[in-house]
Chains A and B, each alone.
Chain A
Protein backbone atom coordinates (compact mmCIF):
# COMPACT_ATOMS: atom_id res chain seq x y z
CA UNK A 1 0.00 0.00 0.00
CA UNK A 2 1.66 3.26 -1.05
CA UNK A 3 2.13 5.83 1.67
CA UNK A 4 0.81 9.17 0.43
CA UNK A 5 2.94 11.26 2.75
CA UNK A 6 6.12 9.45 1.66
CA UNK A 7 5.17 10.04 -1.97
CA UNK A 8 4.54 13.73 -1.22
CA UNK A 9 7.99 13.89 0.37
CA UNK A 10 9.46 12.27 -2.74
CA UNK A 11 8.06 15.10 -4.90
CA UNK A 12 9.30 17.74 -2.46
CA UNK A 13 12.76 19.09 -3.40
CA UNK A 14 15.50 18.47 -0.83
CA UNK A 15 16.85 21.81 0.40
CA UNK A 16 20.44 20.66 0.82
CA UNK A 17 20.60 19.52 -2.82
CA UNK A 18 18.60 22.24 -4.57
CA UNK A 19 19.73 25.37 -2.68
CA UNK A 20 23.13 26.97 -2.98
CA UNK A 21 25.56 27.07 -0.06
CA UNK A 22 29.08 28.30 0.70
CA UNK A 23 31.83 26.29 -1.07
CA UNK A 24 29.19 24.02 -2.59
CA UNK A 25 31.42 22.99 -5.50
CA UNK A 26 33.30 20.83 -2.97
CA UNK A 27 31.17 20.76 0.18
CA UNK A 28 27.88 19.06 -0.68
CA UNK A 29 26.20 19.45 2.70
CA UNK A 30 26.74 20.21 6.39
CA UNK A 31 24.99 18.30 9.13
CA UNK A 32 24.74 18.39 12.92
CA UNK A 33 22.95 15.93 15.13
CA UNK A 34 22.28 16.14 18.86
CA UNK A 35 21.57 13.03 20.95
CA UNK A 36 19.07 13.58 23.77
CA UNK A 37 17.27 11.26 26.19
CA UNK A 38 14.39 11.64 28.58
CA UNK A 39 15.27 11.52 32.26
CA UNK A 40 13.52 8.82 34.27
CA UNK A 41 13.08 6.64 31.17
CA UNK A 42 15.30 3.69 30.25
CA UNK A 43 17.22 4.20 27.00
CA UNK A 44 15.59 2.51 23.96
CA UNK A 45 17.96 -0.48 24.24
CA UNK A 46 16.52 -1.27 27.68
CA UNK A 47 12.96 -0.13 27.02
CA UNK A 48 9.86 -2.02 25.90
CA UNK A 49 7.31 -1.50 23.11
CA UNK A 50 4.73 0.17 25.35
CA UNK A 51 7.17 2.71 26.84
CA UNK A 52 8.76 3.45 23.48
CA UNK A 53 5.38 4.09 21.87
CA UNK A 54 4.50 6.42 24.75
CA UNK A 55 7.82 8.27 24.32
CA UNK A 56 7.10 8.65 20.60
CA UNK A 57 3.61 10.02 21.24
CA UNK A 58 4.87 12.61 23.70
CA UNK A 59 7.85 13.67 21.53
CA UNK A 60 5.58 13.98 18.45
CA UNK A 61 3.26 16.18 20.51
CA UNK A 62 6.05 18.49 21.66
CA UNK A 63 7.52 18.72 18.15
CA UNK A 64 4.16 19.76 16.73
CA UNK A 65 4.22 22.77 19.05
CA UNK A 66 7.92 23.68 18.61
CA UNK A 67 8.37 27.06 16.90
CA UNK A 68 11.39 25.90 14.86
CA UNK A 69 9.36 23.11 13.32
CA UNK A 70 6.30 25.26 12.80
CA UNK A 71 8.07 27.53 10.27
CA UNK A 72 6.96 25.07 7.61
CA UNK A 73 4.55 22.19 7.52
CA UNK A 74 5.96 19.08 9.21
CA UNK A 75 5.52 15.39 8.43
CA UNK A 76 5.42 12.68 11.07
CA UNK A 77 6.19 9.04 10.35
CA UNK A 78 5.77 5.96 12.47
CA UNK A 79 8.80 4.30 10.95
CA UNK A 80 7.86 0.81 12.18
CA UNK A 81 4.64 1.03 10.17
CA UNK A 82 6.32 1.96 6.87
CA UNK A 83 7.18 -0.48 4.08
CA UNK A 84 10.76 -1.56 3.56
CA UNK A 85 10.95 0.48 0.35
CA UNK A 86 9.72 3.62 2.13
CA UNK A 87 12.29 3.18 4.88
CA UNK A 88 15.05 2.73 2.31
CA UNK A 89 13.81 5.91 0.61
CA UNK A 90 14.14 7.82 3.90
CA UNK A 91 17.66 6.40 4.36
CA UNK A 92 18.66 7.59 0.89
CA UNK A 93 17.43 11.06 1.84
CA UNK A 94 19.61 10.83 4.97
CA UNK A 95 16.50 11.35 7.12
CA UNK A 96 16.94 8.07 9.00
CA UNK A 97 19.91 5.88 9.90
CA UNK A 98 20.66 2.28 8.88
CA UNK A 99 19.44 1.14 12.29
CA UNK A 100 15.94 2.32 11.31
CA UNK A 101 15.84 -0.05 8.32
CA UNK A 102 14.91 -2.71 10.90
CA UNK A 103 12.94 -0.54 13.29
CA UNK A 104 11.49 -1.47 16.64
CA UNK A 105 8.01 -0.52 17.79
CA UNK A 106 7.95 3.18 18.61
CA UNK A 107 10.50 4.24 15.98
CA UNK A 108 9.58 7.68 14.67
CA UNK A 109 10.62 10.50 12.36
CA UNK A 110 9.44 14.08 12.27
CA UNK A 111 10.78 16.30 9.50
CA UNK A 112 10.04 19.73 8.13
CA UNK A 113 8.97 19.85 4.51
CA UNK A 114 12.35 21.02 3.20
CA UNK A 115 13.98 18.06 5.00
CA UNK A 116 16.57 20.32 6.57
CA UNK A 117 15.42 19.94 10.18
CA UNK A 118 14.27 16.60 11.50
CA UNK A 119 14.17 14.37 14.56
CA UNK A 120 14.53 10.59 14.82
CA UNK A 121 12.67 9.21 17.80
CA UNK A 122 13.73 6.03 19.63
CA UNK A 123 16.76 5.20 17.60
CA UNK A 124 19.80 4.55 19.84
CA UNK A 125 18.68 7.53 21.91
CA UNK A 126 15.16 8.82 22.57
CA UNK A 127 15.79 11.84 20.34
CA UNK A 128 18.28 12.53 17.60
CA UNK A 129 17.80 16.12 16.47
CA UNK A 130 19.30 16.78 13.06
CA UNK A 131 19.90 19.71 10.78
CA UNK A 132 21.15 19.43 7.21
CA UNK A 133 22.02 22.33 4.88
CA UNK A 134 23.79 22.82 1.54
CA UNK A 135 27.52 23.64 1.40
CA UNK A 136 29.88 24.34 4.26
CA UNK A 137 28.01 26.22 7.00
CA UNK A 138 28.46 24.57 10.39
CA UNK A 139 28.06 27.71 12.51
CA UNK A 140 24.75 28.63 10.92
CA UNK A 141 23.26 25.19 11.35
CA UNK A 142 24.56 24.96 14.93
CA UNK A 143 22.52 28.04 15.82
CA UNK A 144 19.49 26.51 14.13
CA UNK A 145 19.61 23.17 15.91
CA UNK A 146 20.56 24.69 19.25
CA UNK A 147 17.38 26.77 19.04
CA UNK A 148 15.26 23.68 18.43
CA UNK A 149 17.09 21.96 21.29
CA UNK A 150 16.27 24.90 23.61
CA UNK A 151 12.61 24.83 22.60
CA UNK A 152 12.35 21.10 23.26
CA UNK A 153 14.22 21.30 26.57
CA UNK A 154 11.52 23.67 27.87
CA UNK A 155 8.97 20.88 27.54
CA UNK A 156 10.91 17.63 27.74
CA UNK A 157 12.99 16.65 30.79
CA UNK A 158 16.31 15.81 29.14
CA UNK A 159 18.61 13.42 31.02
CA UNK A 160 21.48 15.67 32.04
CA UNK A 161 24.26 15.54 34.59
CA UNK A 162 26.49 18.46 35.60
CA UNK A 163 29.69 16.44 35.13
CA UNK A 164 28.75 14.12 32.28
CA UNK A 165 26.49 16.49 30.35
CA UNK A 166 23.69 15.01 28.23
CA UNK A 167 23.43 11.31 29.06
CA UNK A 168 23.40 9.07 25.99
CA UNK A 169 22.91 5.35 25.55
CA UNK A 170 26.44 4.95 24.18
CA UNK A 171 29.25 6.67 26.13
CA UNK A 172 30.85 7.67 22.81
CA UNK A 173 28.13 10.35 22.46
CA UNK A 174 28.20 11.54 26.05
CA UNK A 175 28.44 15.24 26.98
CA UNK A 176 27.31 17.44 24.12
CA UNK A 177 25.76 14.52 22.20
CA UNK A 178 26.91 16.45 19.16
CA UNK A 179 28.11 14.96 15.91
CA UNK A 180 28.87 17.52 13.18
CA UNK A 181 29.86 16.47 9.70
CA UNK A 182 30.43 17.85 6.23
CA UNK A 183 30.02 15.77 3.08
CA UNK A 184 32.92 16.59 0.76
CA UNK A 185 33.31 15.74 -2.90
CA UNK A 186 37.04 15.09 -3.33
CA UNK A 187 37.75 13.76 -6.83
CA UNK A 188 40.89 15.92 -7.14
CA UNK A 189 42.50 14.40 -4.07
CA UNK A 190 41.48 10.90 -5.21
CA UNK A 191 42.87 11.37 -8.76
CA UNK A 192 46.16 12.78 -7.43
CA UNK A 193 46.46 9.87 -4.97
CA UNK A 194 46.45 12.15 -1.95
CA UNK A 195 43.21 10.91 -0.41
CA UNK A 196 44.82 8.23 1.79
CA UNK A 197 47.09 10.83 3.35
CA UNK A 198 44.10 13.12 3.95
CA UNK A 199 42.04 10.34 5.58
CA UNK A 200 44.98 9.34 7.77
CA UNK A 201 45.63 12.96 8.73
CA UNK A 202 41.97 13.42 9.61
CA UNK A 203 42.05 10.31 11.81
CA UNK A 204 45.20 11.48 13.56
CA UNK A 205 43.43 14.69 14.50
CA UNK A 206 40.72 12.69 16.24
CA UNK A 207 38.19 13.20 13.46
CA UNK A 208 36.53 10.53 11.33
CA UNK A 209 36.30 10.16 7.55
CA UNK A 210 33.42 7.99 6.42
CA UNK A 211 31.66 6.97 3.22
CA UNK A 212 28.44 8.13 1.61
CA UNK A 213 25.97 6.66 4.11
CA UNK A 214 27.98 7.36 7.26
CA UNK A 215 29.07 4.77 9.75
CA UNK A 216 30.41 1.55 8.26
CA UNK A 217 29.68 2.46 4.66
CA UNK A 218 32.13 2.35 1.79
CA UNK A 219 33.21 5.38 -0.16
CA UNK A 220 31.23 5.95 -3.33
CA UNK A 221 31.40 8.74 -5.85
CA UNK A 222 34.49 10.26 -4.16
CA UNK A 223 32.24 11.47 -1.35
CA UNK A 224 33.73 11.68 2.12
CA UNK A 225 31.94 12.62 5.29
CA UNK A 226 34.27 14.24 7.82
CA UNK A 227 33.02 14.39 11.41
CA UNK A 228 34.08 14.85 15.01
CA UNK A 229 34.61 11.75 17.16
CA UNK A 230 34.70 13.05 20.71
CA UNK A 231 31.73 14.75 22.30
CA UNK A 232 32.91 15.40 25.87
CA UNK A 233 35.49 17.80 27.31
CA UNK A 234 34.90 20.58 24.78
CA UNK A 235 32.03 22.98 24.21
CA UNK A 236 29.87 22.64 21.10
CA UNK A 237 31.54 25.73 19.61
CA UNK A 238 35.02 24.29 20.22
CA UNK A 239 34.10 21.00 18.57
CA UNK A 240 32.68 22.82 15.55
CA UNK A 241 35.64 25.20 15.29
CA UNK A 242 38.14 22.33 15.36
CA UNK A 243 36.22 20.39 12.70
CA UNK A 244 35.66 23.48 10.54
CA UNK A 245 39.33 24.41 10.46
CA UNK A 246 40.28 20.92 9.22
CA UNK A 247 37.52 20.97 6.61
CA UNK A 248 38.61 24.40 5.36
CA UNK A 249 42.11 22.97 4.85
CA UNK A 250 40.80 19.92 2.97
CA UNK A 251 38.78 22.20 0.68
CA UNK A 252 41.92 24.23 -0.05
CA UNK A 253 43.85 21.03 -0.84
CA UNK A 254 41.09 19.80 -3.12
CA UNK A 255 41.15 23.12 -5.01
CA UNK A 256 44.92 22.87 -5.39
CA UNK A 257 44.64 19.26 -6.59
CA UNK A 258 42.09 20.28 -9.23
CA UNK A 259 44.29 23.16 -10.40
CA UNK A 260 47.27 20.81 -10.55
CA UNK A 261 45.33 18.30 -12.63
CA UNK A 262 44.21 21.02 -15.03
CA UNK A 263 47.75 22.37 -15.39
CA UNK A 264 49.67 19.09 -15.71
CA UNK A 265 47.27 16.38 -16.78
CA UNK A 266 44.48 18.18 -18.56
CA UNK A 267 44.00 15.49 -21.21
CA UNK A 268 43.80 12.75 -18.62
CA UNK A 269 41.33 14.76 -16.60
CA UNK A 270 39.10 15.59 -19.58
CA UNK A 271 39.28 11.96 -20.69
CA UNK A 272 38.20 10.75 -17.24
CA UNK A 273 35.26 13.16 -17.17
CA UNK A 274 34.28 12.71 -20.82
CA UNK A 275 34.20 8.91 -20.56
CA UNK A 276 32.07 9.07 -17.44
CA UNK A 277 29.67 11.41 -19.24
CA UNK A 278 29.52 9.02 -22.19
CA UNK A 279 28.78 6.12 -19.91
CA UNK A 280 25.95 7.97 -18.16
CA UNK A 281 24.50 9.27 -21.43
CA UNK A 282 24.65 6.12 -23.50
CA UNK A 283 24.27 3.11 -21.19
CA UNK A 284 21.26 0.80 -21.34
CA UNK A 285 22.15 -1.11 -18.17
CA UNK A 286 23.99 0.58 -15.30
CA UNK A 287 24.43 -0.25 -11.61
CA UNK A 288 23.95 2.21 -8.75
CA UNK A 289 27.62 2.19 -7.77
CA UNK A 290 28.80 2.75 -11.34
CA UNK A 291 26.31 5.63 -11.70
CA UNK A 292 27.46 7.32 -8.50
CA UNK A 293 31.12 7.04 -9.45
CA UNK A 294 30.43 8.39 -12.95
CA UNK A 295 28.22 11.18 -11.57
CA UNK A 296 31.16 12.17 -9.36
CA UNK A 297 33.28 12.67 -12.48
CA UNK A 298 30.43 14.55 -14.17
CA UNK A 299 30.10 16.84 -11.14
CA UNK A 300 33.81 17.62 -11.40
CA UNK A 301 33.31 18.45 -15.08
CA UNK A 302 30.45 20.80 -14.23
CA UNK A 303 32.58 22.47 -11.52
CA UNK A 304 35.29 22.99 -14.13
CA UNK A 305 32.76 24.48 -16.63
CA UNK A 306 33.24 21.66 -19.12
CA UNK A 307 29.54 21.30 -19.92
CA UNK A 308 27.09 23.90 -21.07
CA UNK A 309 24.10 21.58 -21.15
CA UNK A 310 24.39 20.08 -17.64
CA UNK A 311 24.04 22.09 -14.46
CA UNK A 312 24.99 21.24 -10.91
CA UNK A 313 21.38 20.86 -9.74
CA UNK A 314 20.72 18.16 -12.33
CA UNK A 315 23.79 16.28 -11.14
CA UNK A 316 22.74 16.66 -7.50
CA UNK A 317 19.25 15.44 -8.29
CA UNK A 318 20.67 12.45 -10.16
CA UNK A 319 22.88 11.53 -7.18
CA UNK A 320 19.59 10.85 -5.34
CA UNK A 321 17.47 9.48 -8.18
CA UNK A 322 19.87 6.73 -9.25
CA UNK A 323 19.67 5.11 -5.80
CA UNK A 324 17.49 2.00 -5.56
CA UNK A 325 14.51 3.32 -3.56
CA UNK A 326 14.39 6.71 -5.32
CA UNK A 327 14.49 4.99 -8.67
CA UNK A 328 11.49 2.83 -7.73
CA UNK A 329 9.61 5.87 -6.43
CA UNK A 330 10.38 7.66 -9.69
CA UNK A 331 9.10 4.70 -11.70
CA UNK A 332 6.12 4.32 -9.39
CA UNK A 333 6.59 0.57 -8.95
CA UNK A 334 8.83 -1.99 -7.30
CA UNK A 335 11.68 -3.28 -9.47
CA UNK A 336 14.18 -6.10 -9.00
CA UNK A 337 17.86 -5.38 -9.42
CA UNK A 338 18.06 -6.25 -13.10
CA UNK A 339 15.11 -4.03 -13.98
CA UNK A 340 16.47 -1.25 -11.77
CA UNK A 341 19.74 -1.24 -13.75
CA UNK A 342 17.72 -0.86 -16.98
CA UNK A 343 15.42 1.81 -15.55
CA UNK A 344 18.39 3.70 -14.10
CA UNK A 345 20.12 3.82 -17.48
CA UNK A 346 16.91 5.12 -19.11
CA UNK A 347 16.52 7.78 -16.45
CA UNK A 348 20.11 8.95 -16.90
CA UNK A 349 19.72 9.11 -20.69
CA UNK A 350 16.57 11.17 -20.31
CA UNK A 351 18.06 13.65 -17.80
CA UNK A 352 21.27 14.11 -19.75
CA UNK A 353 19.57 14.57 -23.14
CA UNK A 354 20.85 17.74 -24.81
Chain B
Protein backbone atom coordinates (compact mmCIF):
# COMPACT_ATOMS: atom_id res chain seq x y z
CA UNK B 1 0.00 0.00 0.00
CA UNK B 2 1.29 3.45 -0.94
CA UNK B 3 1.27 6.55 1.22
CA UNK B 4 -1.97 8.53 0.77
CA UNK B 5 -0.17 11.85 0.64
CA UNK B 6 2.86 11.35 -1.61
CA UNK B 7 1.62 8.21 -3.43
CA UNK B 8 5.28 7.25 -3.74
CA UNK B 9 6.63 5.59 -0.62
CA UNK B 10 5.07 2.51 0.97
CA UNK B 11 2.72 3.39 3.84
CA UNK B 12 4.19 2.27 7.14
CA UNK B 13 2.06 4.29 9.54
CA UNK B 14 -1.60 3.40 9.82
CA UNK B 15 -3.76 5.63 11.98
CA UNK B 16 -7.36 4.80 12.70
CA UNK B 17 -9.76 7.13 14.45
CA UNK B 18 -13.31 6.26 15.41
CA UNK B 19 -15.57 9.14 16.46
CA UNK B 20 -19.27 8.45 17.03
CA UNK B 21 -18.98 5.22 15.07
CA UNK B 22 -17.49 6.95 12.04
CA UNK B 23 -14.15 5.43 11.08
CA UNK B 24 -11.33 7.41 9.48
CA UNK B 25 -8.18 5.63 8.34
CA UNK B 26 -4.88 7.19 7.28
CA UNK B 27 -2.08 5.29 5.56
CA UNK B 28 1.14 7.30 5.47
CA UNK B 29 4.85 6.90 5.00
CA UNK B 30 7.06 8.02 7.89
CA UNK B 31 8.24 11.08 5.98
CA UNK B 32 4.76 12.44 5.22
CA UNK B 33 3.55 11.59 8.72
CA UNK B 34 6.37 13.66 10.21
CA UNK B 35 5.74 16.53 7.79
CA UNK B 36 2.03 16.63 8.53
CA UNK B 37 2.15 15.90 12.24
CA UNK B 38 1.70 19.56 13.10
CA UNK B 39 -1.16 20.36 10.73
CA UNK B 40 -3.15 17.13 10.56
CA UNK B 41 -5.47 16.83 13.59
CA UNK B 42 -5.72 13.05 13.35
CA UNK B 43 -1.95 12.73 13.72
CA UNK B 44 -1.85 15.27 16.50
CA UNK B 45 -4.34 13.25 18.48
CA UNK B 46 -1.64 10.64 18.88
CA UNK B 47 0.72 13.09 20.45
CA UNK B 48 0.99 12.38 24.14
CA UNK B 49 1.70 16.02 24.84
CA UNK B 50 -1.51 17.11 23.15
CA UNK B 51 -3.41 14.59 25.18
CA UNK B 52 -1.79 15.94 28.29
CA UNK B 53 -2.67 19.49 27.48
CA UNK B 54 -6.28 18.81 26.46
CA UNK B 55 -6.67 16.87 29.61
CA UNK B 56 -5.48 19.79 31.72
CA UNK B 57 -7.82 22.11 29.85
CA UNK B 58 -10.82 19.96 30.61
CA UNK B 59 -9.87 19.83 34.23
CA UNK B 60 -9.51 23.56 34.39
CA UNK B 61 -12.90 24.17 32.87
CA UNK B 62 -14.60 21.95 35.38
CA UNK B 63 -13.57 24.26 38.20
CA UNK B 64 -15.18 27.63 38.66
CA UNK B 65 -12.52 30.17 37.78
CA UNK B 66 -10.65 27.48 35.90
CA UNK B 67 -10.72 29.53 32.72
CA UNK B 68 -8.32 31.95 34.31
CA UNK B 69 -5.91 29.14 35.15
CA UNK B 70 -6.04 27.82 31.60
CA UNK B 71 -5.40 31.16 29.97
CA UNK B 72 -2.56 31.81 32.40
CA UNK B 73 -0.88 28.46 31.72
CA UNK B 74 0.75 29.28 28.34
CA UNK B 75 2.58 32.26 29.83
CA UNK B 76 4.37 30.10 32.41
CA UNK B 77 8.09 30.04 31.66
CA UNK B 78 10.99 28.32 33.40
CA UNK B 79 13.41 30.92 34.75
CA UNK B 80 16.26 28.40 34.69
CA UNK B 81 16.10 27.18 31.07
CA UNK B 82 13.45 29.33 29.37
CA UNK B 83 11.20 26.39 28.50
CA UNK B 84 7.55 27.48 28.21
CA UNK B 85 4.13 25.82 28.28
CA UNK B 86 3.89 25.94 24.50
CA UNK B 87 7.09 23.87 24.09
CA UNK B 88 5.94 21.51 26.78
CA UNK B 89 2.63 21.08 24.96
CA UNK B 90 4.33 20.46 21.60
CA UNK B 91 7.04 18.05 22.71
CA UNK B 92 5.58 16.50 25.86
CA UNK B 93 8.98 17.01 27.41
CA UNK B 94 10.33 19.37 30.00
CA UNK B 95 13.47 21.45 29.52
CA UNK B 96 15.36 20.93 32.77
CA UNK B 97 14.92 19.59 36.32
CA UNK B 98 13.67 23.02 37.52
CA UNK B 99 10.78 22.82 35.04
CA UNK B 100 9.08 20.32 37.33
CA UNK B 101 8.55 23.07 39.89
CA UNK B 102 7.53 25.68 37.31
CA UNK B 103 4.97 23.39 35.69
CA UNK B 104 3.91 21.60 38.87
CA UNK B 105 0.35 22.93 38.66
CA UNK B 106 -0.10 21.75 35.08
CA UNK B 107 1.43 18.40 36.05
CA UNK B 108 -0.38 17.81 39.33
CA UNK B 109 -3.63 16.70 37.68
CA UNK B 110 -1.92 14.69 34.98
CA UNK B 111 0.56 12.62 37.00
CA UNK B 112 -2.15 10.80 39.00
CA UNK B 113 -3.70 9.62 35.77
CA UNK B 114 -0.47 8.73 34.07
CA UNK B 115 0.99 6.86 37.01
CA UNK B 116 -0.10 4.96 40.10
CA UNK B 117 0.11 7.98 42.35
CA UNK B 118 1.90 11.31 42.40
CA UNK B 119 4.59 10.63 45.00
CA UNK B 120 7.89 8.84 44.51
CA UNK B 121 8.17 5.66 46.58
CA UNK B 122 11.33 4.27 45.01
CA UNK B 123 15.01 4.53 45.77
CA UNK B 124 17.05 7.65 46.52
CA UNK B 125 20.45 8.56 45.06
CA UNK B 126 23.36 7.56 47.31
CA UNK B 127 24.84 11.03 47.59
CA UNK B 128 21.51 12.80 47.90
CA UNK B 129 21.31 15.67 50.36
CA UNK B 130 17.94 17.32 50.81
CA UNK B 131 17.81 20.25 48.48
CA UNK B 132 16.34 23.00 50.66
CA UNK B 133 15.82 25.39 47.83
CA UNK B 134 13.76 22.80 45.99
CA UNK B 135 11.61 22.23 49.08
CA UNK B 136 11.00 25.97 49.35
CA UNK B 137 9.74 26.10 45.82
CA UNK B 138 7.44 23.16 46.41
CA UNK B 139 6.04 24.94 49.46
CA UNK B 140 5.45 28.06 47.43
CA UNK B 141 3.55 26.16 44.79
CA UNK B 142 1.47 24.54 47.53
CA UNK B 143 0.69 27.99 49.01
CA UNK B 144 -0.40 29.33 45.64
CA UNK B 145 -2.67 26.34 45.19
CA UNK B 146 -4.20 26.93 48.65
CA UNK B 147 -4.83 30.61 47.84
CA UNK B 148 -6.53 29.65 44.58
CA UNK B 149 -8.73 27.14 46.40
CA UNK B 150 -9.73 29.73 49.05
CA UNK B 151 -10.51 32.32 46.41
CA UNK B 152 -12.72 29.88 44.62
CA UNK B 153 -14.60 29.08 47.81
CA UNK B 154 -14.82 32.80 48.63
CA UNK B 155 -16.61 33.49 45.35
CA UNK B 156 -19.12 30.74 46.07
CA UNK B 157 -19.74 32.04 49.60
CA UNK B 158 -20.32 35.57 48.34
CA UNK B 159 -22.66 34.30 45.64
CA UNK B 160 -24.64 32.45 48.33
CA UNK B 161 -24.59 35.57 50.56
CA UNK B 162 -22.76 33.68 53.35
CA UNK B 163 -20.86 36.77 54.44
CA UNK B 164 -19.55 35.51 57.79
CA UNK B 165 -17.77 32.55 56.17
CA UNK B 166 -16.60 34.85 53.39
CA UNK B 167 -14.95 37.18 55.89
CA UNK B 168 -13.08 34.25 57.47
CA UNK B 169 -11.86 33.17 54.04
CA UNK B 170 -10.76 36.71 53.13
CA UNK B 171 -8.59 36.81 56.27
CA UNK B 172 -7.20 33.38 55.51
CA UNK B 173 -6.26 34.50 51.99
CA UNK B 174 -4.49 37.57 53.39
CA UNK B 175 -2.52 35.31 55.76
CA UNK B 176 -1.55 32.93 53.00
CA UNK B 177 -0.49 35.79 50.73
CA UNK B 178 1.69 37.19 53.49
CA UNK B 179 3.28 33.78 53.97
CA UNK B 180 3.93 33.56 50.25
CA UNK B 181 5.52 37.01 50.12
CA UNK B 182 7.61 36.17 53.19
CA UNK B 183 8.94 33.09 51.41
CA UNK B 184 9.71 35.12 48.34
CA UNK B 185 11.72 37.67 50.33
CA UNK B 186 13.71 34.96 52.04
CA UNK B 187 14.55 33.59 48.63
CA UNK B 188 15.80 36.96 47.43
CA UNK B 189 18.02 37.25 50.48
CA UNK B 190 19.28 33.73 50.07
CA UNK B 191 20.32 34.41 46.50
Could you list which residues of chain A lie within 8 angstroms of chain B, going by C-beta atoms? 37, 39-43, 45-46, 124, 146, 149-150, 153-154, 157-167, 169-172, 174-176, 178, 206, 230-236, 238
Pick from B52, B100, B116, B125: contact of A233, CB under 8 Å: B116
Identify the closest chain A residue to B92 (Cβ): A170
B130 at the interface (CB under 8 A from A): yes
Whether A232 pairs with B115 at a CB distance below 8 angstroms is yes
Query: Closest 4 A-B residue pairs measured CB to CB?
Result: A233-B117, A165-B120, A46-B95, A232-B115
- Given A162-B130, A167-B97, A171-B107, are A45 and B120 also a contact pair (CB < 8 Å)? no
Whether A160 pairs with B126 at a CB distance below 8 angstroms is no
- Contacts A/B (CB < 8 Å), 7 sampled: A40-B97, A42-B96, A161-B97, A163-B138, A172-B48, A233-B117, A233-B120
CB neighbours of B96 from chain A (8 A) = 41-43, 46
Whether B123 pairs with A146 at a CB distance below 8 angstroms is yes
Q: How far, in angstroms, from A167 to B114 measured CA to CA in the complex? A: 15
Q: How far, in angstroms, from A54 to B131 measured CA to CA in the complex? A: 24
Q: How far, in angstroms, from A258 to B107 measured CA to CA in the complex? A: 46
Identify the closest chain A residue to B91 (Cβ): A45
CB neighbours of A162 from chain B (8 A) = 120, 130, 134-135
Q: A43-B97, A170-B48, A234-B117 are in contact. List 13 more A-B contacts (CB 8 A).
A: A43-B93, A45-B93, A45-B95, A46-B82, A149-B123, A153-B128, A158-B125, A164-B120, A175-B120, A206-B116, A230-B115, A232-B117, A233-B121
Identify the closest chain B residue to A233 (Cβ): B117
Identify the closest chain A residue to B128 (Cβ): A160
CB neighbours of A158 from chain B (8 A) = 125, 128
CB neighbours of A174 from chain B (8 A) = 100, 111, 115
Identify the closest chain A residue to B120 (Cβ): A165
Pick from A45, A153, A233: contact of B118, CB under 8 Å: A233
Whether B115 pairs with A170 at a CB distance below 8 angstroms is no
Whether B116 pairs with A234 at a CB distance below 8 angstroms is yes
CB neighbours of A37 from chain B (8 A) = 97
Q: What per-residue 1/0 map shows which CB atoms of B118-162 lie under 8 Å from chain A?
A: 111111111110110011001000000000000000000000000
Whether A236 pairs with B122 at a CB distance below 8 angstroms is yes
B110 at the interface (CB under 8 A from A): yes
Q: How far, in angstroms, from A150 to B128 measured CA to CA in the complex? A: 11
CB neighbours of A172 from chain B (8 A) = 48, 92, 114
CB neighbours of A149 from chain B (8 A) = 123
* A197 → chain B closest CB, angstroms: 20
Whether B111 pairs with A153 at a CB distance below 8 angstroms is no
- Given A153-B126, A232-B118, are A159 and B97 also a contact pair (CB < 8 Å)? yes
Whether A230 pairs with B116 at a CB distance below 8 angstroms is yes
- Given A171-B94, A171-B111, A235-B121, are A154 and B116 also a contact pair (CB < 8 Å)? no
Whether A43 pairs with B121 at a CB distance below 8 angstroms is no
Q: Among B94, B95, B115, B124, which residue has the most Cβ atoms of chain A within 10 A?
A: B115
Q: How far, in angstroms, from A234 to B120 measured CA to CA in the complex? A: 7
CB neighbours of A169 from chain B (8 A) = 93-94
* A39 → chain B closest CB, angstroms: 6
- Given A43-B93, A46-B81, are A163 and B114 also a contact pair (CB < 8 Å)? no
Whether B100 pairs with A167 at a CB distance below 8 angstroms is yes
B53 at the interface (CB under 8 A from A): no
Whether B91 pairs with A153 at a CB distance below 8 angstroms is no
CB neighbours of A40 from chain B (8 A) = 97
